[in-house]
Amino acid sequence: MSISPSKIVCVGRNYVKHAAELGNAVPAEPLIFLKPPSALIRPGDAILLPPGVGRVDFEGEIGVVVGRRARHVPESDAWDHVGALVALNDVTARDLQKKDGQWTRAKGFDTFCPVGEPRSLSEVDRAGLAVTTRVNGQIRQHAPASDMVFAIPFLLAHISRIMTLEPGDLIATGTPDGVGPLVAGDEVEISVEGVGAVRNTVREARP
Ligand code: MG
């Protein structure tokens, strides 16, 4: 399946323990931001560390691929607008995120959004959803989707009241605790149980 979203809508601080590990409170309503589609890469592509940006982190997430246009969708109908789920890595330049306040630069570098092969929602066991991150084969993050502060239907309904979601748009649903830095030579894999995985190596970008 090709992936060509008009936008990538991401949710921040959607797991209690992850918010806490970075010293943040859980927001009262979903905290959202955008990544540009130009950040997308696929399995096997390299994550490029931009020169001079400091710490760059992995964030393993469950990605939602919109299947049907969604505008002002009630939470009870939200799953009808989901086409597929996908493993996603919300790669983040952590020092720039703190420095800028606005997250566009920290989240928006080319290669900062690896995604795997989407799996059709009809083939997914929604009850058993969980995300796992491995770096060089070692488990660094693991959490069930049930740990989300705001669940997928709530997120889709909320976002659809702000912006129309088009088929193919991606929603990154937030990362659990355990985030950490990547260095050149690392291999990072995000897997979503019953959905699939995205594995990428990390290297320095050439200036
Ligand atoms: Mg994230």
Instruction: Compute the distance from residue 23 Cα to the ligand 1 centre, in Å.
Output: 15
The boundaries of the domain holding residue 40 are 25-204
Domain-located, residue 100? yes
The verdict on pTM exceeding 0.85 is: yes
Domain-located, residue 88? yes
Q: Give the Cα separation of 204 and 207 in Å (integer).
A: 9
Residue 44's φ and ψ, nearest 5 degrees, are 90, -20
- Total domain count, the chain: 1
Domain-located, residue 15? no
Instruction: Compute the distance from residue 60 Cα to the ligand 1 centre, in Å.
Output: 7
Domain-located, residue 11? no
Residue 12 has pLDDT above 90, yes or no: yes
Token code pair at residue 83? 């086409």
How many other CB atoms sit within 10 Å of the CB of residue 177? Answer: 17
Q: Give the Cα separation of 54 and 67 in Å (integer).
A: 37
Q: Give the Cα separation of 34 and 165 in Å (integer).
A: 13
Instruction: Compute the distance from residue 172 Cα to the ligand 1 centre, in Å.
Output: 7
Domain-located, residue 57? yes
Specify the CATH number for the domain of residue 88.
3.90.850.10
Instruction: Compute the distance from residue 139 Cα to the ligand 1 centre, in Å.
Output: 18
Instruction: Compute the distance from residue 43 Cα to the ligand 1 centre, in Å.
Output: 18
Domain-located, residue 1? no
Instruction: Compute the distance from residue 147 Cα to the ligand 1 centre, in Å.
Output: 15
User: pLDDT tens across 123-159, in order?
Assistant: 999 999 999 999 999 999 999 999 999 999 999 999 9
Domain-located, residue 6? no
Domain-located, residue 162? yes
Report the DSSP beta bridge partners of residue 138.
Answer: 135
